[in-house]
Amino acid sequence: MAGNGDRPKVGILALQGDFREHCQVFDELGVEAVEVRRHEDLEGLAGVVVPGGESTTIGRMMVESGLLDGIRSYFYKGGPVWGTCAGMVLAASATTGPRQPLLGLMNALVERNGFGRQVHSFEADLDVEGFDAPFTGVFIRAPFFEDVGPGVEVLSEIDGRVVAARGENILVTAFHPELTDDRRFHEYFLREVCGIERSQ
Amino acid sequence: MAENGQLTGTFRVKSGMAQMLKGGVIMDVVDAEQAKIAEEAGAVAVMALERVPADIRADGGVARMSDPEKILEIEEAVTIPVMAKARIGHFVEAQVLQALEVDYIDESEVLTPADEAHHVDKWAFDVPFVCGATNLGEALRRIGEGAAMIRSKGEAGTGNVVEAVRHMRAIVGGIRKLATLGPEELMTEAKNLQAPYELVKWVSENGRLPVVLFTAGGIATPADAALMMQLGADGVFVGSGIFKSGDPARRAQAIVRATTHYKDAKVVAEVSRGLGEAMVGKEMGDLTEGERLAVRGW
């Protein structure tokens, strides 16, 4: 890792969507947030976040920039990845909707816009595995996992629809922790998935 | 609205939707076929309308909300968000668009205004609104009425970016100025801007608008899009610029890439090569006062 002492670096895929909000949260948590636009930007990262946005747009741009394969090989070498909303769609291995480029990092079937169009977007208090108190999820044209395969641990669901899950080195949330002041999911990602112990 | 513990229509959900569009291009389309071309090219959303602004200018007459049939057809054709325009102050067109479950309503000066003094009370809706603004005061008045996203007005349908530049500079410059003022100066500044004091105070403290700021009106080339992004836009609306050009699919893709890589002149140069004909532009001096759309809205 170059420069900046021993601050760990987390990369945020910055092709489209709300990547700046994630960067701000990680900065607050004492981690260096790096915007990822090219393959080279993946060097030396302790974790990668695929943010919210339009999954079709981000998917096409990942193909163009070589980042679809880049993030896959980062992940297969054990690199930790967190997908929020569009990122959760992209992390899935299959979608119920029309074909689109997917990273396919998680053994799961995703339903895009599973809760309906924007007028049905909502906030809800979620029970999350391992969290002491409910977490307010902000769901925006959000997806859910309809089915998950072996190796996927469900962390939260709404009426049987999976809205948070994890695997060995991957975390997905259908909602947007970066749009709230609650830092528990960002901390969870750093601690439990990236294995970063913070001294603060 | 609260339904089995789920809260819909909160400002966080409405303004958050716009956050997800950042860094993207929203394209005007008139039918399902154009919507598919836009989605294929990487648009983050489409704006459904009856005629693109250049045709509204050419045809004249009263411009209204699209035929619901067309909107439903477009919603059916694509998986990306679908926006639609309502006339300024026409809250029933807005109610209809909400009933059609469009993802965003543009209360737009491109259509003929229905009310000469008032905009729609946007707090009354679960569906979020985007509104145009020519300066900071106008942007904050619209946010005060409940707009969850702001865009520059520009002069739609001209293919001339000069007005969008003027509006973006006015908004961003106004924000910068507010950030330099002391607390005792804010009430007078709110009076000068004709904007709600609480919003003036918020912008002064945070150095940005409380909602996403896009640009619109006259963007015709990849370089236009990158210019607006460098001037501080969070994303780009392209109206007539795409489907009034020689090769819409390629131009759409090029504008999308230039918007993502707006700081990288090499990418902008590469995508601009051999794009074919851009839409024919209009000089501002050639517009009569009555032909100017940006002056609509209060």
- Which of B6, B127, B257 to mutate against chain A (most A CBs within 10 Å)? B6
Question: pLDDT value at position B278?
Answer: 81
Which of B20, B79, B126 lies nearest to residue A56, judging by beta carbons? B79
Q: How confident is the model at residue B241 (pLDDT cuts 50, 70, 90)?
A: confident
How many residue contacts between A and B have a Cβ separation below 8 Å? 117
- Which of B13, B46, B261 to mutate against chain A (most A CBs within 10 Å)? B13
First to last CA, chain A: 21
Q: Cα dihedral angle (A16, A18, A21, A23), rounded to 10 degrees?
A: -30
Question: pLDDT value at position B144?
Answer: 98
Q: Which residue has the higher pLDDT, A110 or B53?
A: A110
Per the prediction, chain B carries an average pLDDT of 94
Average confidence (pLDDT) per 10 residues, chain A, 200 residues: 69 97 96 94 97 97 95 97 98 95 97 96 97 98 97 96 98 98 97 83
Question: pLDDT value at position B262?
Answer: 96
**Selection from B47, B44, B15, B275 nearest residue A15 by Cα:** B44
Question: pLDDT value at position B1?
Answer: 64
Interface contact B20-A53, CB threshold 8 A: yes
Please indicate if any CB of chain B lies within 8 Å of the CB of A157.
no
- For B105-155, the pLDDT digits (tens) are 999 999 999 999 999 999 999 999 999 999 999 999 999 999 999 999 988
- Contact list, A60 vs chain B (CB under 8 Å): 42
Can you tell me the mean pLDDT for B56-65? 89
Question: pLDDT value at position A4?
Answer: 52
Can you tell me the mean pLDDT for B159-185? 96
Can you tell me the mean pLDDT for B171-189? 97
Beta bridge partners of A31: none
Q: What is the pTM of this model?
A: 0.95
Residues whose CB is less than 8 angstroms from the CB of residue A159 and which lie 6 or more positions away in sequence, other chains included: none
Question: pLDDT value at position A2?
Answer: 44
Q: Which residue has the higher pLDDT, B61 or B89?
A: B89
Full DSSP string of B127-194: S-EEEEESSHHHHHHHHHTT-SEEEE---TTS--THHHHHHHHHHHHHHHHHHHS-GGGHHHHHHHHT
The catalytically annotated residue of A85, A111, A157, A186 is: A85
Q: How far apart are CA B103 and CA A121, in angstroms?
A: 10
First to last CA, chain B: 30
For residue A120, indicate whether it is catalytic.
no
For residue A39, indicate whether it is catalytic.
no
Tell me which chain B residue has its CA closest to the CA of residue A120. Answer: B8
Total Cβ atoms within 10 A of residue B5: 11
Question: pLDDT value at position A5?
Answer: 59
Q: How far does the CA of residue B139 sit from the closest CA of chain A (Å)?
A: 21
Q: Which CATH architecture has domain A9-193?
A: 3-Layer(aba) Sandwich (3.40)
Can you tell me the mean pLDDT for B269-288? 86
Question: pLDDT value at position B3?
Answer: 67
For residue A178, indicate whether it is catalytic.
yes
Q: Which residue has the higher pLDDT, B289 or B119?
A: B119
Can you tell me the mean pLDDT for B50-73? 91
Interface contact A119-B260, CB threshold 8 A: no
Q: How confident is the model at residue B56 (pLDDT cuts 50, 70, 90)?
A: confident
